[in-house]
Amino acid sequence: MVEKSRTLVLKRGFVLAALLVAGAVLAAIGAAQQTPSAASIQVDKVGDNLYVLRGGGGNTAAFITAKGVTLVDAKLPGWGKPILEKLKEITEKPVTMIINTHTHFDHVGGNVEFPATVDVVTHENTANLMREMRPVTGGPEQPNVFKEKNGLGLPNRTFKDRMTLGNGDERIELYYFGRAHTGGDAWVVFPALRAMHSGDAFAIKNLPLIDANNGGSGVEYPKTIAKAAAALKNIDTIITGHNPTTLTIADLKTYADFTREFVQTVQAAKKAGRTIDDVVNSWKVPERFQKDGYPTPEQIQEILRYPVAAQTARLRSNVEVIWNETK
């Protein structure tokens, strides 16, 4: 029995660690070293006319409508053309719209490889951030592919709280629930398919990347996730920013708890007069979340050779952000 449960934990750990490495910007660097090609993109069918394209950065959703294809996110720079090539295996329709979930280059980099006629839709804050492509908190500089292309691929339609695109079975609902991963995280819902794309606000089952430099907030993070989980009804399937499988609303609720506990731990430490080092050295993935598939840094290192030190750097960056936001 003990052996069996250990195998289970490791299996789960593997899946979740795979996402962590694929996860967020750190893994985007890994993916950037991969040569962009359609062959490196894996297609998973989510519903009748909804697919996920994996590889080359964040997960891309492809929603096939009568008029054309709406993409959610366009991967790293260099991966726009491979997306287009891969789409030919699914449909002959052209890409007519890209919705970007947020400003990170592993989600928007491919935008510039699509024709200027393609509509680009984002939250209004993301539209502003994409013009700047500021460095990521605790993470890399971001290439400004838009500047290099004289603004090609920048958003031409924005929303503030909510926006409806299309109608009938082709309706898409965009929501903004507040700051989390960045200051412009869009939640993209496909009501007819009971599915959504959560971007990196919910990227993987692990610590978030809180990109304060691009408007993200540690203190607001769990509130935003809880708001989304409560408001978004009739959804069975979540395409997350980087997970190799789809997740559920139950997973999103657990993520709200996970991020809330993390924020509370950091805030309690500050109020008790402890130090940032202290928190970084003592924080562990709480056991109940480990049971729910949140891997430990050691499991991630063991299986994927993704160094614990790099994971600790992420942890430290997050603790600093929350520390600075806590009076």
Q: Contact residues for Zn ion (CB under 5 A)?
A: 104, 200
- Which residues are registered as beta bridge partners of 195? 190, 237
Query: For residues 268 and 282, is the Cβ–Cβ distance under 8 A?
Result: no
Q: How far is CA 43 from the centre of its chain?
A: 18
Q: If you write DSSP's letter for every residue of 161-219 in order, what string do you get? A: SEEEES-GGG-EEEE----SSSS---EEEEGGGTEEE-GGGG-SSSPPP--GGGT--TT
Alpha-carbon distance of 114 to 96, in angstroms, equals 9
Comparison of 222 and 279: residue with beta carbon closer to Zn ion: 222
Rounded to a whole number of angstroms, the minimum distance from the CB of residue 212 to Zn ion is: 13
Comparison of 86 and 104: residue with beta carbon closer to Zn ion: 104
Rounded to a whole number of angstroms, the minimum distance from the CB of residue 134 to Zn ion is: 13
Comparison of 200 and 320: residue with beta carbon closer to Zn ion: 200
Query: For residues 24 and 317, is the Cβ–Cβ distance under 8 A?
Result: no
- The angle formed by the CA atoms of residues 239, 40 and 154, to the nearest 5 degrees, is 60
In the block, residue with structure tokens 């993109």 = 41
Strand, helix or coil at 160? coil
Rounded to a whole number of angstroms, the minimum distance from the CB of residue 137 to Zn ion is: 11
Query: For residues 102 and 136, is the Cβ–Cβ distance under 8 A?
Result: no
Letter for the amino acid at 117? T
Rounded to a whole number of angstroms, the minimum distance from the CB of residue 72 to Zn ion is: 13
Rounded to a whole number of angstroms, the minimum distance from the CB of residue 296 to Zn ion is: 23
Comparison of 49 and 198: residue with beta carbon closer to Zn ion: 198
Rounded to a whole number of angstroms, the minimum distance from the CB of residue 219 to Zn ion is: 19
Going by C-beta distance under 8 Å and a sequence separation of 6 or more, which residues neighbour residue 288?
none
Helix axes of 221-231 and 249-271: crossing angle, nearest 10 degrees: 160
Rounded to a whole number of angstroms, the minimum distance from the CB of residue 309 to Zn ion is: 21
Comparison of 198 and 296: residue with beta carbon closer to Zn ion: 198
Alpha-carbon distance of 7 to 152, in angstroms, equals 48
Comparison of 113 and 200: residue with beta carbon closer to Zn ion: 200
**Residue 55, both tokens:** 């590889």
Comparison of 104 and 227: residue with beta carbon closer to Zn ion: 104
